[in-house]
Structure 1
Amino acid sequence: MKIVIAAAGSYGDVAPYTGLGARLREAGHDVALATHDAYAPLVRTAGMEFRRLPADPRAGRPDGDGDGPAPEASPGDRRALLRKAAAFIRELGTGLADATTDSTELLLLSTTTAPLGRSLAEAYGIPCWDLPLHPNAPTGDFAPPVSGTRSLGRWGNRAVGRLSHRVVDRLYADASRELRTRLDLPPATPRTLRRRAEAAGPPVLHGFSEVLVPRPEDWPGGLDIVGNWWPWHAPEAQLPSSVQDFLAAGPPPVFIGFGSMAGGAGERLGALAVAALRRAKVRGVLQSGWAGLTTGPDTLATDDILTIGEVPHALLFPHMSAVVHHCGAGTAAAGLRAAVPTVPVPVTADQPFWAARLAAMGAATAPIPFRDLAAEHAADRLADALTRATADPAHRARARSAAGRLAVEDGAGAVAEAVARLTA
């Protein structure tokens, strides 16, 4: 079957689909992944065809990531961010149209691409499935992940969930109209397209684990949680020799990285991380990420802190004593999979949701909101969290228990089985 996966955004929005695509290829399908140029090498080394999406994932996104404004944004900032997001989406629509051809037989869509992909599926007369990385269907169990962690009660949570859908519908309105005109389709709003999809009932397969989010009982049929899709890496891949040497030189270090968050704040965050690591008397691995996390030359010359670039979490995290990160969905799951405690530092969008989930299950310390890292005693607060994460055996025990449950899940295999049923 000729399958196109369309995913847009930061590394965490795209990388899980490389593992999924590789599994579908193993099942005999012809798979292309449409995404941004930055991820072309990863897509190709995973054995898939790369199809370009032109939009810049850093444009219109606070700190380079997330689905909405940063928590501290003013009303004026929010309007500016929404305008940038709308421009990003309009450019994305053009790329999606170019990436889909009349030979495509199935579209698999991320949260960002789904509102536009439905029109492409209509134009080509092919099925399309939503494959989100976080729960976005309204439920009474919790408010939408992008709205924060506060519950408004069952009625309120569902109401906010429906409202969030309407906000997304408005955000995609111009891009959807332009795309449907290009495809010679009759006018239809994103809301209409979403409701048609809900009524038709194609499978919605969520790429996260019930270890963190049990399936809400009030979800309708067809909404399934299948387990994580892990970013692809070569089976023979190993850690860089510099990392292996560092690990061998002392006790397990703490990982600190903020992924695609905090662009331009690398020097400040690096200094803060070094101060916290030394006050907690633990070694550290700093991942530069989009922030450009870095330390001074004097720090790089010591043997207690190592700065690295991109290294697969699946290879690195099992060697850590704890992991400090922004709590994107994939990174949060990767920490659990490695059976190590987390110190969550959520920035925006769904990150506070995942941070709260980790803390509630006991596999993480209490979250430290990213904005609090600018406070006067931030290094002391982070150092205290590092001490608790590395010294309290309960955190590691809870993480180890979760890792055992994750190990028996096969999210990519579940999608492959669903595709097999479609073609039977």
Structure 2
Amino acid sequence: MRVVIMTVGTRGDVAPFVGLGVRLRAAGHEVTVATQQSSAELVTGAGLAFRPLPGDMKADMASADGQRWTKAGATLRAIPAQLRLGKRFMIGMGQAVLAAAAGAEVLLLARAPMMHGYLAGQALGIPTVGLELWPSVPTGDFPLPLFGDRSFGRWGNRNLHKPVLFAPTPFDADFKRFCREIGLPPVGIGRIRRTMLADERWPILHGYSPLIVPRPADWRPGAEVAGYWWQPIPPEWRPSPELADFLAAGPPPVYIGLGSMASGEGERLSGIVVEAARQARVRAVIQAGWAGLAAAGDDVLTVGDIPHDWLFPRMAALVQHAGAGTTGAVLRAGVSTVPVPVAFDQPFWAGRLTRLGISPGVLPFKRLTAPALAERIRQAVGEPGFGDRARVLGERVRAEAGTARVLRVLDELAGG
């Protein structure tokens, strides 16, 4: 089957779908990943075909609006910056999605290009499937993750999002124009999303473990929790001699990284994390990420991109931003963690990690200081219960087969 996966965003938004694509290809499917040019090497390096989608997430996050969005976190104050970035993101997306869909027999659609892909699939007669990295269907069990980790009661959790689905948006005119261009009745973004959520025949598969978020009983049919998708370590990959020597030179270090978050704050954050490691009396591997963290010394090593599935199990604890993809890597590694959520869905995942008992507690990015981080690191490393629970959970997560549900849906579509 000719499968096109569409996704855009940070590395954490793309890597899980590259991993899924690798496994679908191994099962006999012909797989293309459509994403932004900045992730082309990630796709082709895994042996998958690449097609371009517009935009540059790294540049967007480094922009003034990106900085405002990050600083506002998961609050209503983030909405104006989100809307401006969203308008920029929409430029050319519809036509790029149409081009990427050419020749496909099924479209697997991640969050950002999902609505354009859903419409393109209708116009072209191509089946589509939604792929989500966080819970996307309303439930009484908890609010949608972009509203944070605080419950609003069962009625509030289930209905908090509804005003957004019925309110006019700055994107409606763009979507109506796209609908007309492809021969569909013109509808705005809220109507499209309501249709997707209500259609029990439209599959929505969630790429995270049911051990961290079980499938809510009030979800509609077709909305499933599949398990994690992750990119396998390339067989030719080897750690640098510098990293190998550092790991061999002493006890397991603590990993500290913020992934694609906090772009432009590298100097300030580097000082905080180095001082925290010194106060906690631990060695540290610091991942530069988009923030540009950098430090050097006998007990500190700065690294670039390293496969998390190789690095994380070798660490004593993991300080990370609790993005969806990184959260999955933390769980698979079986290592205690200190989540430092910045924005988006990160507070949701950070709260889940704490409730699972593998973290001494959430340290919000806005309250990040060297003493506070040092105290959390001491707890994560020094109190054995966190690591013991993480190891048990890691064994269970690694035994899951997250691709199996996707393969079953593809088989059902091929048979239908």
Mark yes or no: TM-score above 0.5.
Answer: yes
User: Relative to 1, partners in 2 of residues 1:66 and 1:190: Cα closer, same or farther, differing over 3 Å?
Assistant: farther
CA shift, 1:67, in A, is 13
Summarize deviations over 1:87-132 as a string: whole Å, max 9, x none.
212333332122221x211000001111111110011101100000
Letter in structure 2 aligned against 1:246: F
| Paired letter, 1:177 | K
Distance in 2, matches of 1:358 and 1:77, equals 24
Task: Assess, with a 3 A threshold, how the Cα gap between structure 1 residues 221 and 81 changes in structure 2: closer, same or farther.
Answer: closer
1:113 alignment partner AA: P
Q: Secondary structure at the match of 1:246?
A: helix
- Mapping for residues 86-165 of structure 1, pairs under 5 Å: 86-101=87-102, 103-165=103-165
Contact 1:34/1:53 (<8 A) preserved = yes
Structure 1, unmatched stretches of 5+, are: none
Shift of 1:142: 0.4
Letter in 2 for 1:306: L
Contact kept, 8 Å, 1:66 with 1:348, in 2: the verdict is: no
Contact 1:321 1:390 (C-alpha < 8 Å) held by counterparts:
yes
The AA in structure 1 aligned to 2:390 is A
- Aligned ranges 1:300-379 → 2 under 5 Å: 300=296, 302-373=297-368, 378-379=369-370
2:290 partner amino acid = W
TM-score (norm 1): 0.92
Q: Do structure 1's residue 386 and structure 2's residue 377 form an aligned pair? A: yes
Q: Per-residue displacement from partner, 1:257-315 (whole Å, max 9, x unpaired)?
A: 000000011111111111000110000000000000112xxxx2x32100000001001
- Quote the RMSD (CA, aligned, Å): 2.2
SS for the counterpart of 2:132 is: coil
Distance 1:359 1:334 in 2: 15
Q: How far apart are residue 139 of structure 1 and its match? A: 0.5
Distance 2:309 2:82 in 1: 33
Q: Look up the match of 2:182.
A: 183
Distance change >3 Å, CA 166–CA 68, structure 1 → 2: farther
Distance 2:384 2:124 in 1: 55
Q: Secondary structure at the match of 2:57?
A: coil
Number of aligned residues: 413
Alpha-carbon deviation of 1:137? 0.7
Q: What SS does structure 2 have at the residue aligned with 1:234? A: coil
Write the deviation string for residues 201-253 of structure 1: whole angstroms up to 9, x where unpaired: 22111000111101111111111101000024313433222211110000000
Secondary structure in structure 2 of the residue aligned to 1:131: strand
Query: Alignment partner of 1:188: what SS?
Result: coil
Q: Secondary structure at the match of 1:355?
A: helix
Q: Is the 8 A contact 2:70 2:342 kept in 1?
A: no
Q: Which shifted more, 389-398 or 83-92?
A: 83-92
Question: How big is the shift at 1:333?
Answer: 1.5
- Partners of 1:322 and 1:308 in 2: how far apart? 16
Provide the rounded CA distance (Å) in 2 between the counterparts of 1:344 and 1:195: 33
Supply the distance in 2 between the matched residues of 1:136 and 1:66 (Cα, whole angstroms): 25
- Report the counterpart of residue 51 of structure 2 in structure 1: 51
Does residue 392 of structure 2 align to residue 397 of structure 1? Answer: no
Given the superposition, is the C-alpha separation of residues 128 and 73 from structure 1 closer, same or farther in structure 2, using an over 3 Å criterion? closer
Moved more, 303-312 or 81-90: 81-90
Shift in alpha-carbon separation, 1:208–1:163, aligned structure 2, 3 A: farther
Equivalences for 1:37-48 in 2 at 5 Å? 37-48=37-48
Residue of structure 1 equivalent to 2:405? 414
Is the contact made by 2:339 and 2:363 (CA closer than 8 Å) also made in structure 1? Answer: yes
What residue is the counterpart of 2:172 in the other structure?
173
> Which amino acid is the alignment partner of residue 309 of structure 1?
G
